[in-house]
Each structure stands twice: as structure tokens, then as C-alpha cells.
């Protein structure tokens, strides 16, 4: 099968690959770039375990082709912490017991980061609606909501901080 | 007797009762977990599966020639290939047998028909698309009642000559004559058919494995999604003939189990066969559609229940007959003596003088059923039936559903309580839990609000469920799976520097064992949780255990952990006596130290003792500081709770909204309150799901109608209620740390609370029972039938 050469910036690092046009973005990330933090939980775009940021926007990487990411920037869960310092959402999920098996967690954190970028001070209803495309089978969502509230509280104090956090996500 | 636990340790040590943050989380929040599909081995091949479009058909031919031409395809495996090695059938954990690949007949839609092995995920899928299978459809049996008719096609002609029908087994419990007499003498008698539909656990991670055969060393390593790795190792040894010491099962991180990762699926076996034949590691990962359509299912119980009572509402007798739809094979993971699990816990929280339960297992053209959905042992089915029946009785007699429960509860002073079906409840205080739930939700005010709303024509309902769970399988005199007794284990090694490695026979798939089992050791020995590493899921290193399902980890392996720690504590006493030059009988244990009675200054910390165990042990004593315990529990544990749910029903759409849900749980002494709350949140959501959303349905041709997440509706954060939790603590008297189990309580307890609330909202319209899921379509049709309009 013919392949196409693509260039993608992944977590700030320039990456290249020769891929089949049909290769899903999630398989590029997992099987080619070996970034296995992005998970696959369904084949119908329902579960959101594969959520990443594409040019700063939340996207389900099982529903995109790798070639669609050509020339673009991808942020995965592996790009959220800076060294030993966790992203406020990562810290909040840990603090609030916002995860159990941990399988949906990367996608949930990526979606929550996008949600907080759109709305720095969401209500509980807005948080619940904002993660409706991400399924969790373990937690019943209660502590995920609390985690996002904690992170929102930490990110919210100044507009600058929120902007900075969003920039970190993209960087 | 264990008593209610007061916290003994500081937060820094983190023993029982502390909400210690989870030790496993740092890897998960960074995306650094090691799930099965993350594993890549050098030279690894991929396996994908050809599946049947028919629910029942003869395979006329399989042509793999085109598939073998697909670039990257290395092999195609069919039933005929397996038959040569005698591997086309495999045993199920329930003692039935299951096809790995069919040689003649497919028995359900999406059944595995052939396997393709290739150099990549995509090439394997291309190969699957190129395998040509010619089928001749056969008559399909979907309804288990029809399966029992004399003219139904025999689905399992492979069975013995005297079993040429679709009846698998009959099981009964209790006293039929006494129950009949009780019903005949009852002043008031109710009778109801209740169906608990087929559902699927749908853990967000599907199932998969990497089988890695090393021909030189004769070693098979099977990396897999299993809740019970040791059982898998033993079964694999028995089926394959490979020596058990050369089989290593490793689980890594598991993305949710809920019982769905207990059975052995054909995909695992196919990967093993493919690795043996190619000499390379072979990965098999299900996609979601395969997972939903072919993996084991739960429930599917057609229950007929009869209950007798006095006119004052005192219940006197229960009789229950059930048809259990097991699909084409009984692949349940129930203990051998209990083909219907612990369904005879159906007398629940009530003091029944008489009860009789019978269950008949039946084959149909569906995937193997009877496995699990966060409760495999049929407790959910039992609790749903009894809690619905008690509610129907209350409404029939115009007695408040809370009062009828209070009037019939087994009282705390009756504990331990022997049920008419043979269980001995260890402890419980049912009135206290219900009273707390009623206080938390403001029960009396809600009843007033309901009356006012009903007068205005609005539909509001209040539902109660006061359930009794039965977990911790189990005592070896009654409990085994394929002959393996259901004990569990822990091995503790204390290192010279006072750090601890402990290995357990159970497996975590999200429960947080790395944290909670460390807390048990911290409680018993005073080592800080941070100094204790918990390992599991590697059969080469972990002690033998039956795995994690049916809420058995804390009741069984948790007990083993406490007992192993106590062995270490006892040896530490003798080491301390040596170091302190004191008589061992004169030492007392406090806060991680052995001290001389009356001279607290003369003491040795557990860390000092650990060092001495390797550097300065007394002559004649065995050096080192290790212990292992295999715990055979004397009884099961019986967690319980009372849940109250408030629903509003939209008359225009039939939509049920859970406005409030209060859950009071009692799981005995608590190791980690934060984790217990998390377990209850998740359990409630998996109780909510089949109550309102999830159901695996089939058309008359056996076509699966809910085979993707587009049709099989998992709750999102939007529908899921904001759960309100309460607690009472009634320790288990026989468990070393007074704990019970909690993982499945809420899944068991929640559905009848929701169903009772919905029927409560509609009872005045003449509605007695509605089977779950209570979908808008179903409620809308009932409202229209009853003449209710928006």
C-alpha cells in the first residue's frame, strides 16, 4: 500500500513518519510514536479514551486519520506535566480520587483541559456536559467533577495563569 | 470478635481508616500505565478474528486462500486446525465446555470462526476481510422458554445421550413444602414475573493478550487482561499439557474488570496457539464491537416470585422459580456447588420463616451468559426480586414501604442469623441503616411533597432498597472453582532496611490494592504505607490465589494480609525479646514497637527489629523476616445498606430523572474511606445504568441489537446523579480486621431503589411492576395506556 510522508509536532517535538493513508491518528501516536498514554476504548467515537489536542483543540484521535495531523501540533497526556511538576488537572485527579482503573483518565484529563480553556470557571452542570463525550466506568463521575473543580480553582486566580496553563497544554 | 475500628496510626503511617492517596495514581495520571495494548514485544505478530454474521448456522466451508495472499498475513487458523490438536473445545469455569473455534456449527452471532495472524494490526484486519466462509443458516433459539419446548432444536448435540435438550441444570435451595404451606396459609399473597435483562460490563479497556512462546526455554508467557491469573495458569496447564512451572501469566494494569475479565475467551487461546505455531509473540486485542457482541454477559434471569404475608404486612413465605438464560454454554464463574451463584440470598434483609428457590439453566443461541456485571454470583438478581416484591406488598397493603421493611427486618440482636436457605449472616444492623438514609433524604417531607404533587397530577416517586450482600467466597468446605478452593493469600517480606514487599493472590483492576493492602500492613506492623510495595498479577512471583471478583479481595486476601502480618509481628516479638534481653511474654505491642511491659523506654521499633532479623538474630532462630498466609475464611461476609431514590417522571416524554439518591452502606471496618466512597460511586453508577439505560437485546434471528456504544448506552456524567453517601459500621465478627467487601454492594442495591421509585410514582395509575431498563419509550407507552397525557 502506498504511504504518505507526514510531519507532526507531538508534545513540542517535531516527528515524521511514512504512513498508510488509512492509519488512524491514535495508532500513529500509540504504535508508531509509542506514546501509549492515549487509549482506545471504542470504535464509534463514544468513549473519549483517545482524546488529545490537535492544534490546541480537543479531538478524538480514533476519529482522525494520521494524515489529517500532517503539519499540525498534537498534545497528548504525556505532554501535560512539565518534568516532575504535574499539570493542575493531573494533581487534582490524584488528590480527589478522580480515577480508579486509570484507563479513561488520560482522555478525561485532556478533555477537562480543553473544557477549562473554554470556560475557566464552569458550574457543575457545565463540567458534566463538558465531559459527556468521555465515558468512565469506574468512578461514577463524582470525583472527576471534583477534580476538575479543584483544577479550575487553581487555574482561575488570574487570567494570566489560565492562559499560561493553556499555553503549557499546547507547548 | 472484631469491634468497630478506631484509627490507631498517624496519617504518616496511614493504617486503617485513613484516606491515603493512591500509590498507583502517579503512573495513570501521566499516561504511563501499562495496559495490555501498550505492550509491544520484538517480532510480535497480530491476531484478528473472523466472526459469524449468523446466530446459528452450519459452516459449509472456510476458504483462507485469498487471506493468505494478503501482504503481511502469516497464518490463518480454523477449527479444523485446532481439532487436530484437540484444542477446538475448551472447558468453562462452570464445568461446561466452549468452542475455541467451531468445526461445524456456529452458535451465536459474532462467534469466533477463524483467526488471522499478520505482521500488523491493519494487515490482520485485511486478512479477516479476505477469509471466505460459506454458512447455511439454522433455526435460531433466542427465547429460553421456547428453548425448553419439546420441539425446540437441540443446541448442544455434543452432550450426553440423556441430555439431548436445552436444559442445562436444575438447582434448588430451601424447603419447598414449607414454602408452599406458608403461601397457602398466608392472609395476603402476591405473585409477580420479573425479568432482569442481559447486560454487559463494558469496561473501557476491552480484553486482550500477548502470548509469548519461547521454544528454547519451553516457556509460555501470557500477558493478559485477567482478574484471576493463577486460575488461568492452571487451566492453561491442564488444557495445553505445558508444565505449569513453565507457564507465566502476567496481568499488568487492567482497565476495568467488573467480572468480564474472569473467563477465558477464545481469543486468548488462539493467541497462545498462534504463538506456539509461529514461535513469535502474538497480540490479540478486541475492538469494542467484538467485546460487546461476543464476551460474556450478565443477568438474563426470568424470575417468577410468590410471597405470602399477613394483612398487617408481616411476611411469612417466599417461593421463587427462575429460568436462567446462559446462551450456548454455561461459562459462568460461579463456585461449583452454586450454578445459580448465591441467588438463594434472596430472602434478603428480612426474617422469613420459610423460603424456597429454584433455578433452571437453559441454552439459547446467544453468547455465553451468566458471568458478571460487577456481581457475578446472582446477588443482584436476588436483591432486585426481593426488594421489588417487598415494595409491591407494601403498596398492595397500603403500608409505607419504609415501615414494612422496618417491620420485617432481621434485628441486630438476631445476628448471627441463619436464613431459611442456609446462609449464616455474620452481622448487620438494618434498621439503623434505613433510619439514617431516611433522615439524610428527609423521607417524611418527601412523602408530603409527593402527595401534593400527585394532587396536581405530577409524577414523583420514592423508592427504597434495603439490601443484604453476600461476599468473600469463600470457605473451602463449600466454595471452589473447577475444584480449586477459594482461599486467598499474601506473602510479606520485610527487608533489612525496614521496607516491605508484599505480594497478594488477588488482582487490582482499579480498586486500589496497591494502597489498601499496604494500609492493612501499616495498621498491623506500623510500617508507613510509603515504605510498603504491593505486587500482584505475576504468577511466577505472587502466591496462589483465586483472583479478584465477587468483592472477595478484602474479605479473603485482606484477611490473609492481616494474618501474614501477624505472623511477622509474632516473630518480631521474639527478635525484640532477644534485643532487649527480655522475656517475650513481657513485651507489649504499641505503635509499631515491641516494649517491655511497664518500661516503655525499653523498646524496639519494627524497623530496628527488621534490621536485626538479618544482622543479629538469636542463634537457633531462623533468620529473616517473612511470612505467607493462605486464608480459608470461616464464613462469607454480609455487607448491607439502605438506599433511597427520588424520581420525577416527565409525562410528555416518559423520561425518568433521578432527582436525589441517598446511599447508606455498611461494609464493616473501612480500610480507606476515600476508596470505599469511590467504589460506592462507581457501583451506584453501574446500578443506575441497567435501571435506566443498558440492555443487550436480540431480534428473533439472534441479531445483537446493541453491539456498539451507539446502541448500548453507558451513563455519561450528564445523566449520572450526584450521589449522596452515608455510612454505618458493623464489623464482621469473623474477619481479622472486621472488614467485609464493598465493590459490588451499590451495583446490587441501586437498581431496585430506582425501579421502586418509578413504580411508586405510577402505582396509583394501576402499575404494579415494570422491568428494567426504565426507558422513556417504555414509560411513555405505559403512561399513554393509562390515559396520562402531558
Provide the chain B residues 595-634 that lie in CB contact (below 8 A) with chain A.
none
Please indicate whether, in this complex, the C-beta atoms of B31 and A35 are within 8 angstroms of each other. yes
- Report phi then psi at B722, rounded to 5: -85, 100
Q: Which residues of A touch B203 (CB under 8 A)?
A: 101, 103, 137
Contact B24, B515 (CB under 8 A): yes
Residue B337 binned pLDDT confidence (cut-offs 50, 70, 90) = very high
Residue A171 binned pLDDT confidence (cut-offs 50, 70, 90) = very low
Residue A157 binned pLDDT confidence (cut-offs 50, 70, 90) = low
Say what the ipTM of the complex is: 0.97
Q: Cα distance from B201 to chain A (closest Cα, Å)?
A: 9
Please indicate whether, in this complex, the C-beta atoms of A141 and B685 are within 8 angstroms of each other. yes
Q: In what order do the strands lie in the sheet with B459-468?
A: B459-468, B640-649, B656-666, B724-727
Count of C-beta atoms within a 10 Å radius of residue B593: 19
pLDDT (tens digit, 9 = 90+) per residue, B542-556? 999 999 999 999 999
* Among B31, B122, B683, beta carbon nearest to A38: B31
Task: Name the closest residue on chain B to residue A83, using Cα atoms.
Answer: B30
Task: Name the closest residue on chain B to residue A24, using Cα atoms.
Answer: B122
Angle between helices B745-762 and B379-396 (to 10 degrees): 30
Q: Cα distance from B287 to chain A (closest Cα, Å)?
A: 7
Cell of B515: 494502597
Distance spanning both ends of chain B, measured CA to CA: 58
What does the pLDDT average to over B533-545? 98
- The per-residue DSSP string of B358-385 comes to EEEEE--SSS-BS--SS--SSHHHHHHH
**All residues at 6 or more sequence positions from B784 whose CB lies less than 8 Å from its CB, including other chains:** none
Please indicate whether, in this complex, the C-beta atoms of B32 and A37 are within 8 angstroms of each other. yes
Interface-testing mutation among B19, B23, B31, B251, with chain A (most A C-beta atoms within 10 A): B31
* Number of cross-chain residue pairs from A and B with Cβ atoms under 8 Å apart: 179
Pairing of strands B484-485, B480-481: antiparallel
Task: Name the nearest CA neighbour of B101 among B236, B226, B271.
Answer: B271
pLDDT over 70 for what percent of chain B? 99
Write out A103-155 in H/E/C secondary structure.
Answer: CCHHHHHHHHHHHHHHCCCCCHHHHHHHCCCCCCCCCCCHHHHHHHHHHHHHH
Please indicate whether, in this complex, the C-beta atoms of A39 and B255 are within 8 angstroms of each other. yes
* Among B30, B289, B723, beta carbon nearest to A140: B723
pLDDT (tens digit, 9 = 90+) per residue, B680-715? 999 999 999 999 999 999 999 999 999 999 999 999
pLDDT over 90 for what percent of chain B? 97
Task: Give the span between the Cα atoms of B494 and B500, in whole angstroms.
Answer: 5
Cell of A104: 479513561
Domain boundaries, chain B: 25-33+488-631, 36-138+207-285, 301-473+635-785
pLDDT at res. B426: 98
Please indicate whether, in this complex, the C-beta atoms of B205 and A127 are within 8 angstroms of each other. no
pLDDT (tens digit, 9 = 90+) per residue, B386-428? 999 999 999 999 999 999 999 999 999 999 999 999 999 999 9
Please indicate whether, in this complex, the C-beta atoms of A40 and B203 are within 8 angstroms of each other. no
Interface-testing mutation among B22, B124, B126, B204, with chain A (most A C-beta atoms within 10 A): B204
pTM above 0.95? yes
Task: Name the closest residue on chain B to residue A62, using Cα atoms.
Answer: B287
Domain boundaries, chain A: 4-79, 88-170
Residue A163 binned pLDDT confidence (cut-offs 50, 70, 90) = low
What does the pLDDT average to over B254-265? 96
Please indicate whether, in this complex, the C-beta atoms of A139 and B682 are within 8 angstroms of each other. yes
Looking at 3.30.365.10, 3.40.50.300, 3.60.21.10, 3.50.50.60, the CATH number of the domain B25-33+488-631 comes to 3.30.365.10
pLDDT (tens digit, 9 = 90+) per residue, A11-43? 999 999 999 999 999 999 999 999 999 999 999
pLDDT (tens digit, 9 = 90+) per residue, B284-311? 999 999 999 999 899 999 999 999 999 9
What does the pLDDT average to over A123-137? 98
Please indicate whether, in this complex, the C-beta atoms of B204 and A39 are within 8 angstroms of each other. yes
Residue B372 binned pLDDT confidence (cut-offs 50, 70, 90) = confident
Class of domain A4-79: alpha beta
Angle between helices B673-692 and B745-762 (to 10 degrees): 40
Please indicate whether, in this complex, the C-beta atoms of B255 and A35 are within 8 angstroms of each other. no
In whole angstroms, how large is the CA radius of gyration of chain B?
27
Cell of B536: 500482584
pLDDT at res. B67: 98
Chain centroid to CA B298: 10
pLDDT at res. A165: 53
Q: Which residues of B touch A76 (CB under 8 A)?
A: 31
Please indicate whether, in this complex, the C-beta atoms of A86 and B29 are within 8 angstroms of each other. yes
pLDDT at res. A160: 54
Bigger pLDDT: A171 vs A89: A89
pLDDT (tens digit, 9 = 90+) per residue, B624-652? 999 999 999 999 999 999 999 999 999 99
Please indicate whether, in this complex, the C-beta atoms of B510 and A100 are within 8 angstroms of each other. yes
The residues of B annotated as belonging to the active site are 227, 374-375, 744
Please indicate whether, in this complex, the C-beta atoms of A132 and B718 are within 8 angstroms of each other. yes
Cell of A3: 504511504
**Cβ of B322 under 8 Å from any chain A Cβ?**
no
Task: Give the span between the Cα atoms of B73 and B71, in whole angstroms.
Answer: 6
List Cα–Cα distances, B361 to B304, B331, B736, in angstroms. 14, 11, 37
Looking at 2.120.10.30, 3.10.400.10, 1.10.150.120, 3.30.420.40, the CATH number of the domain A88-170 comes to 1.10.150.120
pLDDT at res. A158: 55
Judge whether residue B329 has pLDDT over 80. Answer: yes
pLDDT at res. B683: 98
Q: Which residues of A touch B372 (CB under 8 A)?
A: none
Mean per-residue pLDDT of chain B: 97
Cell of A18: 511514512
- The per-residue DSSP string of B433-486 comes to HHHHHHHHHTHHHHHHHHHHHHHTT-EEEEEEEEEE--BS---TTT-EETTEE-
Judge whether residue B183 has pLDDT over 70. Answer: yes
Interface-testing mutation among A103, A107, A128, with chain B (most B C-beta atoms within 10 A): A103
Task: Give the span between the Cα atoms of B605 and B120, in whole angstroms.
Answer: 56
What does the pLDDT average to over B155-179? 97
pLDDT at res. B542: 98
Scan for cell 435483562, then name that residue.
B197
What does the pLDDT average to over A68-93? 97
Residue B239 binned pLDDT confidence (cut-offs 50, 70, 90) = confident
Task: Give the span between the Cα atoms of A9 and A13, in whole angstroms.
Answer: 5
Task: Give the span between the Cα atoms of B200 and B194, in whole angstroms.
Answer: 19
Looking at 3.30.420.40, 3.50.30.30, 3.90.1170.50, 3.90.79.10, the CATH number of the domain B36-138+207-285 comes to 3.90.1170.50
Task: Name the closest residue on chain A to residue B722, using Cα atoms.
Answer: A142
Judge whether residue B115 has pLDDT over 60. Answer: yes
Pairing of strands B219-224, B593-596: unpaired
Provide the chain B residues 485-514 that lie in CB contact (below 8 A) with chain A.
509-512
Task: Give the span between the Cα atoms of B409 and B406, in whole angstroms.
Answer: 5
Looking at 2.60.120.10, 3.20.20.70, 3.30.365.10, 3.40.50.1220, the CATH number of the domain B301-473+635-785 comes to 3.30.365.10
Judge whether residue B1 has pLDDT over 50. Answer: no
In this structure, chain B runs to a length of 790
SS3 call for B566: helix
Task: Give the span between the Cα atoms of A165 and A162, in whole angstroms.
Answer: 5
Judge whether residue B107 has pLDDT over 90. Answer: yes
* Among A41, A101, A109, beta carbon nearest to B29: A109
Classify residue B637 by its DSSP letter.
B
Task: Name the nearest CA neighbour of B249 among B545, B549, B540.
Answer: B540
pLDDT (tens digit, 9 = 90+) per residue, B45-66? 999 999 999 999 999 999 999 9
Contact B106, B57 (CB under 8 A): yes
Judge whether residue A170 has pLDDT over 80. Answer: no
**Cβ of B675 under 8 Å from any chain A Cβ?**
yes
Distance spanning both ends of chain A, measured CA to CA: 34
CA angle B35, B38, B40 (to 5 degrees): 130
* Among A40, A44, A101, beta carbon nearest to B510: A101
Amino acid at each position: 500500500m502506498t504511504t504518505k510522508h507526514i510531519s507532526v509536532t507531538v508534545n513540542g517535538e517535531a516527528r515524521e513518519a511514512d504512513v498508510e493513508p488509512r492509519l488512524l491518528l491514535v495508532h500513529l501516536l500509540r504504535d508508531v510514536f509509542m506514546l501509549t498514554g492515549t487509549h482506545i476504548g471504542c470504535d464509534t467515537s463514544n468513549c473519549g479514551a483517545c482524546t488529545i489536542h490537535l492544534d490546541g483543540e480537543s479531538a478524538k484521535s480514533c476519529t482522525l486519520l494520521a494524515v489529517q495531523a500532517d503539519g499540525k501540533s498534537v498534545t497528548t497526556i504525556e505532554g501535560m506535566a512539565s518534568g516532575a511538576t504535574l499539570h493542575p488537572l493531573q494533581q487534582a485527579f490524584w488528590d480527589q480520587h478522580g480515577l480508579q482503573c486509570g484507563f479513561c483518565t488520560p482522555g478525561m484529563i485532556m478533555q477537562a483541559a480543553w473544557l477549562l480553556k473554554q470556560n475557566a470557571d464552569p458550574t457543575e452542570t457545565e463540567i458534566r456536559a463538558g465531559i459527556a463525550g468521555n465515558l468512565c466506568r469506574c468512578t461514577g463521575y463524582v470525583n472527576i467533577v471534583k477534580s476538575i473543580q479543584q483544577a479550575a480553582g487553581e487555574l482561575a486566580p488570574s487570567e494570566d495563569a489560565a492562559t499560561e496553563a493553556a499555553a503549557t497544554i499546547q507547548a | 470478635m472484631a469491634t468497630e475500628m478506631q484509627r490507631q496510626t498517624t496519617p504518616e503511617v496511614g493504617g486503617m481508616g485513613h484516606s491515603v492517596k493512591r500509590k498507583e495514581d502517579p503512573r495513570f495520571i501521566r499516561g504511563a500505565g501499562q495496559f495490555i495494548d501498550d505492550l509491544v514485544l520484538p517480532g510480535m505478530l497480530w491476531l484478528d478474528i473472523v466472526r459469524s454474521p449468523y446466530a446459528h448456522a452450519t459452516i459449509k466451508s472456510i476458504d483462507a486462500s485469498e487471506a493468505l495472499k494478503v501482504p503481511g498475513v502469516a497464518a490463518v487458523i480454523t477449527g479444523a486446525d485446532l481439532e487436530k490438536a484437540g484444542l477446538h473445545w475448551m472447558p468453562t469455569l462452570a464445568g461446561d465446555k466452549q468452542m475455541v473455534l467451531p468445526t461445524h456449527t456456529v452458535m451465536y452471532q459474532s462467534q469466533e470462526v477463524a483467526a488471522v495472524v499478520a505482521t500488523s494490526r491493519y494487515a490482520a484486519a485485511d486478512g479477516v476481510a479476505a477469509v471466505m466462509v460459506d454458512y447455511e443458516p439454522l433455526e435460531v433459539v433466542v427465547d429460553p422458554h421456547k428453548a425448553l419446548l419439546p420441539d425446540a432444536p437441540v443446541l448442544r448435540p455434543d452432550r450426553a445421550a440423556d441430555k439431548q435438550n436445552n436444559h442445562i441444570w436444575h438447582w434448588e435451595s430451601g424447603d419447598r413444602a414449607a414454602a408452599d404451606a406458608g403461601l397457602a396459609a398466608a392472609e395476603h399473597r402476591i405473585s409477580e414475573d420479573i425479568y432482569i435483562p442481559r447486560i454487559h460490563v463494558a469496561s473501557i479497556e476491552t480484553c486482550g493478550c500477548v502470548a509469548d512462546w519461547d521454544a528454547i526455554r519451553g516457556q509460555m508467557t501470557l500477558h493478559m487482561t485477567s482478574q484471576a491469573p493463577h486460575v488461568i495458569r492452571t487451566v492453561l496447564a491442564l488444557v495445553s499439557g505445558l508444565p505449569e512451572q513453565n507457564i507465566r501469566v502476567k496481568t499488568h494494569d487492567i482497565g476495568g474488570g467488573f467480572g468480564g475479565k474472569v473467563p477465558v475467551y477464545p481469543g486468548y487461546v488462539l493467541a497462545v496457539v498462534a504463538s506456539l505455531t509461529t514461535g513469535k509473540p502474538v497480540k490479540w486485542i478486541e475492538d469494542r464491537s467484538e467485546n460487546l457482541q461476543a464476551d460474556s454477559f450478565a443477568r438474563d434471569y426470568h424470575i417468577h416470585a410468590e410471597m405470602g404475608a399477613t394483612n398487617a404486612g408481616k411476611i411469612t413465605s417466599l417461593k421463587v422459580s427462575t429460568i436462567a438464560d446462559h446462551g450456548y454454554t454455561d461459562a459462568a464463574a460461579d463456585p461449583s456447588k452454586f450454578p445459580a451463584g448465591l441467588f438463594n440470598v434472596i430472602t434478603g434483609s428480612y426474617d422469613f420463616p420459610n423460603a424456597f428457590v429454584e433455578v433452571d439453566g437453559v441454552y439459547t443461541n446467544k453468547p455465553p451468559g451468566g458471568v458478571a456485571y460487577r456481581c457475578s454470583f446472582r446477588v443482584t438478581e436476588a436483591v432486585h426480586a426481593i426488594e421489588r416484591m417487598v415494595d409491591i406488598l407494601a403498596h398492595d397493603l397500603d403500608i409505607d414501604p419504609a415501615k414494612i421493611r422496618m417491620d420485617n427486618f432481621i434485628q441486630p440482636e438476631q445476628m448471627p442469623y441463619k436464613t431459611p436457605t442456609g446462609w449464616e449472616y455474620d452481622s448487620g444492623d438494618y434498621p439503623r441503616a434505613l433510619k439514617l438514609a431516611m433522615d439524610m433524604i428527609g423521607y417524611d417531607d418527601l412523602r408530603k411533597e409527593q402527595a401534593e404533587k400527585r394532587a396536581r397530577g405530577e409524577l414523583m416517586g420514592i423508592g427504597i432498597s434495603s439490601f443484604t450482600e453476600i461476599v468473600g467466597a469463600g470457605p473451602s468446605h463449600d466454595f471452589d472453582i473447577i475444584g480449586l478452593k477459594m482461599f486467598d493469600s499474601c506473602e510479606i517480606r520485610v527487608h533489612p532496611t525496614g521496607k516491605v514487599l508484599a505480594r497478594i493472590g488477588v488482582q487490582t483492576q482499579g480498586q486500589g490494592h496497591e494502597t489498601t493492602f499496604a494500609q492493612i500492613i501499616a495498621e498491623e506492623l506500623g510500617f508507613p504505607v510509603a515504605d510498603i510495595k504491593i505486587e500482584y498479577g505475576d504468577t511466577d512471583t505472587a502466591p496462589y490465589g483465586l483472583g479478584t471478583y465477587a468483592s472477595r479481595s478484602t474479605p479473603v486476601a485482606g484477611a490473609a494480609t492481616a494474618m501474614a502480618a501477624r505472623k511477622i509481628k509474632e516473630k518480631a516479638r521474639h527478635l525484640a525479646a532477644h534485643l532487649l534481653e527480655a522475656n517475650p511474654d513481657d513485651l507489649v505491642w504499641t505503635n509499631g514497637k515491641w516494649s517491655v511491659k511497664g518500661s516503655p523506654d525499653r523498646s524496639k521499633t519494627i524497623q530496628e527489629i527488621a534490621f536485626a532479623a538479618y544482622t543479629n538474630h538469636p542463634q537457633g532462630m531462623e533468620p529473616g523476616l517473612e511470612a505467607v498466609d493462605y486464608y480459608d475464611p470461616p464464613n462469607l461476609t454480609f455487607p448491607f445498606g439502605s438506599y433511597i431514590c427520588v424520581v420525577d417522571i416527565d409525562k410528555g416524554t416518559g423520561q425518568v430523572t433521578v432527582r436525589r439518591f441517598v446511599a447508606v452502606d455498611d461494609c464493616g471496618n473501612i480500610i480507606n474511606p476515600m476508596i470505599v466512597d469511590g467504589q460506592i460511586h462507581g457501583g451506584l453508577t453501574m446500578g443506575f445504568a441497567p435501571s435506566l439505560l443498558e440492555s443487550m437485546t436480540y431480534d428473533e434471528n439472534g441479531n445483537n441489537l446493541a453491539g456498539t456504544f451507539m446502541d448500548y448506552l453507558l451513563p455519561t456524567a450528564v445523566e449520572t446523579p450526584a450521589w449522596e453517601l452515608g455510612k454505618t459500621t458493623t464489623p464482621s465478627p469473623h474477619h481479622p480486621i472486621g472488614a467485609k467487601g464493598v465493590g459490588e454492594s451499590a451495583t446490587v442495591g441501586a437498581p431496585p431503589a430506582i425501579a421502586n421509585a418509578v413504580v411508586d410514582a405510577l402505582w396509583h395509575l394501576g402499575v404494579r411492576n415494570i422491568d428494567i431498563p426504565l426507558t422513556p419509550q417504555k414509560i411513555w407507552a405505559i403512561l399513554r395506556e393509562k390515559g396520562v397525557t402531558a
